[in-house]
Structure 1
Amino acid sequence: MWRDESVTHQVAHRSLADLWQMLAHIDAVHGLYYLCMHAVFGAWDGGLLALRLPSTVGAALAAAGVGAIGTRLAGRRAGLLAGLVLAFLPHMQRYAQEGRSYALVCAAVTWATYCFVRAMGPRGTALRGGGGHRRSWWAAYTALLSLACWLHVFAALAVVAHGFTLGWLRAPRGVWLRWGKAAATVLTSLLPLVLVSAGQAQRQLGWLAQPGTGTWLQFLALTVAALLLSWACRPRADGRDTGHAGPDTERTILVKLALPLLLAPFALLLTASFLRPWFVERYVLYGMVGLALLAGAALDRALAHRHRLAPVARVLAQALSAAVAVAVLLPWSMSLRSPDSRKDNTVAVAQVVRAHARPGDGVLFLPARRREWLLSTPAVYQALDDLALARNPAASATLQGTELADDAIRRRIRAADRIIALTDPPEQPLDTTAQETAKRETLARYFHACRSSQVRGAQIIVYTRSGQCVPASGR
């Protein structure tokens, strides 16, 4: 469990009153997800399995939705391949096994996109002036997109991507009106969340920096790959791919649906970061749906042309493709399932603290936000005296609690005999607030580092008074 999952775990275990009070001050953007997880833990407090199971279900639903879209627009085999591609994408695998909202957002956007496709009617008839009466599909589209946006506000960028699709397809006025009504309903329903979370944005996203050159190069590479896949799955001029000819065959609709969904949210969030750094890849995870649709259709086209190869060459080509896929994806997939794939490991931190702690020990978190390392293991945390804490997270309606003034922190540290300090690794920059400076200076002046342990993304140091350090072998 890493720090973000630890936040989910401890917040979802608060009472509804405490949770509601916290959302008025911080993390409203994740409010609906926390409420869902509160219900999950209320029904079954199954630890890490319960924490991550909704995300796994969300990823499975997203893959099924991609399969349904691909089947409708490019055939059953293309749909199956697209769903498999989504399931194998490393980004999707990561958030399928993480206790955060992003896989669920992806599932809601995917099925909203399916409803969007169905609202166009068979063979895109709504785009030709027919099938626009499909009110039930527009209603489902509106409801699912609203759900996605309430799970995470940046899902609203999917609405923009769908608008690009309609523009690219030159949709008739009636379709534009129905989509506009749906989009307006979604955005209006989202307005309360936007107003609350806008006031929290600086505290919520203040840790983000401007996207660097590497991020822009990644977007460029993604764009090139998407264009190549679009070319590979382009429809045949004679219409033999879908059974009818014309400029807007299902495969054309697939390309004009998938490309904006993949690129538009990514590009819009990157561009917005020129004004305020808001870009994080996981905020637009649902863009991978577009990539999977393009890849599935391209693979389907490649398989459709395999008859051009001799039988031996066909078998060799398929075996080579499978070997390359395994060689590329398996190491990445295995790496994502190890603790080293995350910034830190709160379970490992708690284990080290449990091993070193003694009754009456004080604990300090440097910086204060690292209190999240122990909040999800209350049996360990509550056995220690939190020397800097003024009000706990629930009482203060915050994620990590509030701390005393620097003078009070100095007094409490000096009154302790043995302190366990949880700090960032040595190479991390130090916070310069008065409280953090007071912690470091008082420890350095009155205590000696007796023992130090490092785990993924964290350092645990046992401080004692001079002459009171007992070597590990003496315990």
Structure 2
Amino acid sequence: MRLDHAPLWRDELATWSAASRPLGDLFRLVGTIDAVSGPYYLLMHGWIAVAGDSVVALRLPSALAMAGAAALTTLLGARLFGRRAGLLAGLLFAVLPSTSRYGQEARPYALVTLLAVLATLLLCRAVDRPASPRWAGYAAAVAGLGLANLFAVSLVVGHALAVLLARRDRVRLPWLVAVAVAGLVLAPLAVLGRSQQGRQLDWVGRPGVGDLLGLPGSVVQAGVVGGLLVGLAAVAVATRGRRGVLVGLTVLLPALLLFAAGQFTPLFVPRYLLFVVPFGCLLAAATLAPLRLAAALAIVLLTALLGVPEQAAVRRTHEWPRTAPVDYPAAVRIIAAHQRPGDGIVYVPRNGWAFLDLATAYYLRTDRPRDVLLVQDQVGRADFWATECSEPERCLATADRLWLLRWGAHADPLAHLPETRADPLRTRYRLDTTWTVPGLTVALLTHPPAAR
């Protein structure tokens, strides 16, 4: 999967920043922002202590989770639609661009996908042969699912329909108890997460009908592949009886809930629905299973081939669109190669989601240029953002040579800066050298000769 080929992107830098903090500082952070990701950060904190924080180490848990999700998808498919369908479902899931994309990202989505399939498999076992340990396992899986991503608990709506249609009174009450126990575990996280939602998801807009129709392609990371899966899944819903309908609702209901919720609150983020992809693969495989094996495998191969362009793209960058990569490592290498002792650095922007300072801290661990505008760092603020000097002109005067790391490509790195930054930079420094790398501009500023 070439785990370390694509640079860490902004969300992964947030994971590293949170998970690499001491436990006390990590708990302070999630009390301020991103509480819903707190359990994942805690898991990654322990993982980093054992495996380190290289790009491969940070992404390896997601790769393992995706492999586990593919295996469990095969088992669940065999249980619901037969062994051949299970095998085809696992293969389909494995070749999707989204499986590669989120299987090589240091974020919780692969873990959510694994837990969604696990919870469904455990529910099937508990419904077939009810027993307290099985319901306890199901409750734990649902709680884990919510701890990894609260919205993924919407999967339980599909489970509820399956339990109601099972026509077995002895499974309904244990199911309700299991869900209630999981709900009690998740309630504090939900309350805290709701209080932070406006700040954390302020970049999310209200979805339209086009966003809903484009969900398959957005979630699978390739429009044509998403369309093919939807077509195959629709056939299974129409031809595979009650099980086909129930699995179809497990895919459809969370999507509709996300769209409906997005009309009232910032929540519509397509990757939140990654956990339904294995169930779409189950339905597609149920359509393919009656075909001759060679024909079915040919369609799986076609699915893989249709996704090749996106498979290549996700290995270059995790940014969107893929045509706009951001090469943090290249920018940091330039600074490392040309810096001198005593150099300072300024980041533009500092208060958005670019995380230029986190990228520099990650890729240039020691001997970084001094952050001349820094007043309080992210750890001190219990945040992902730092506090900068309120008098930039005074703070900038402490460095003879100054690096400017700026988001985007700029022929003039000082153009269109906020006046509080541009005026002292132009007054005290002259532009010495400019480099551009994908998505970023690096500039070296020095004092003009007369000022030396």
* TM-score when normalising by structure 1: 0.81
1:37 equivalent in structure 2: 44
CA distance in 1, matches of 2:434, 2:163: 59
- Partner residue in 1 for 2:440: 458
In 2, Cα distance between equivalents of 1:231 and 1:301: 15
**1:6 partnered with 2:2:** no
Q: Distance in 1 between matches of 2:310 and 2:9?
A: 19
Q: 1:447 to 1:107 in 2, by over 3 A?
A: same
Residue 376 in structure 1 maps to residue 373 in structure 2: no
| Mapped contact 1:335–1:341 kept (Cα < 8 A) | no
Residue 423 of structure 1 aligns with which residue? 406
Q: CA deviation at 1:412?
A: 0.9
- What is the SS of the residue equivalent to 1:460? strand
Secondary structure of the structure 1 residue equivalent to 2:268: coil
Aligned partner of 2:69 in structure 1 is 62
8 A Cα contact 2:19 2:42, kept in partner: yes
Q: How far apart, in 1, do the equivalents of 2:158 and 2:436 lie?
A: 45
User: Is residue 191 of structure 1 aligned with residue 187 of structure 2?
Assistant: yes
Identity %: 31
CA deviations over 1:352-403 (Å, ceiling 9, x no partner): 22123222111111111432221323525x5211122111222221123222
Structure-2 residue corresponding to 1:385? 370
Match of 1:336 in 2: 314
Secondary structure in 1 matching 2:444:
strand
Whether 2:251 is the aligned partner of 1:266: answer no
CA shift for structure 1 position 58 = 0.4
Report the number of matched residues.
424
Instruction: Classify 1:211/1:164 alpha carbon distance in 2 versus 1 (closer, same or farther; 3 Å).
Output: same
Distance 2:86 2:450 in 1: 67
Letter in 1 for 2:393: R
CA RMSD of the aligned region, Å? 2.9
Q: CA deviation at 1:147?
A: 0.8
Counterpart secondary structure, 1:359: coil
Return the index of the structure with the highest Cα Rg. Answer: 1
Residue equivalent to 1:91: 98
* Aligned mates of 1:468, 1:208 — CA distance in 2: 49
Q: Where in structure 2 are the equivalents of 1:377-416 lying within 5 Å?
A: 377-380=363-366, 382-405=367-390, 407=391, 409-416=392-399
Shift of the 275–95 alpha-carbon distance from structure 1 to 2, 3 Å rule, reads same
Matched residue, 2:222: none
User: Is the 8 Å Cα contact of residues 105 and 155 (structure 1) preserved in structure 2?
Assistant: yes
Structure 2 vs 1, CA of residues 359 and 271 (structure 1 numbering), >3 Å: closer, same or farther? same
- Higher mean C-alpha displacement, 14-23 vs 47-56: 14-23
1:182 matched to 2:178:
yes
Deviations 1:234-288 (A, max 9, x none): 697xxxxxxxxxxxxxx53542332122222222112111112211122221010
Distance 1:171 1:391, change over 3 A: farther
Q: Which residue of 2 aligns with 1:110?
A: 117
Distance 1:234 1:210, change over 3 A: closer
The TM-score, its normalising length taken from structure 2, stands at: 0.85
Name stretches of at least 5 consecutive residues in structure 1 with no aligned partner: 122-130, 237-250, 305-314, 470-475
Q: Which residue in the other structure is 1:346 paired with?
A: 328
1:220 and 1:2, CA in 2 relative to 1: closer, same or farther beyond 3 A?
closer
From 151, 155, 165, the equivalent of 2:152 is 155
User: Gaps spanning 5+ residues in structure 2: where?
Assistant: 1-7, 220-225
1:73-92 deviations in whole A, cap 9, x for unaligned? 11111101101111111112
Supply the distance in 2 between the matched residues of 1:179 and 1:468 (Cα, whole angstroms). 78
Matching of residues 194-209 of structure 1 within 5 Å:
194-209=190-205
Structure 1 residues 326 and 182, CA gap change in structure 2 (3 angstroms)? closer
Distance in 2 (alpha carbons) for counterparts of 1:179 and 1:30: 26
1:111 Cα deviation after fit = 0.2
Residue-by-residue CA offset, 1:164-223 (whole Å, 9 max, x unaligned): 4445x3644443333222222212210111122222212211122223554223138899
> Which residue of structure 2 lines up, in the alignment, with residue 312 of structure 1?
none
What CA distance in whole angstroms lies between the structure 2 residues aligned with 1:159 and 1:192?
19
| Kept in 2: contact 1:165–1:257 (CA 8 A) | yes
Tell me the equivalent position of 2:3: none
Q: Residues 197 and 44 (structure 1 numbering): CA distance in 2 closer, same or farther, change over 3 Å?
A: same
Out of 82, 87, 108, the position equivalent to 1:75 is 82
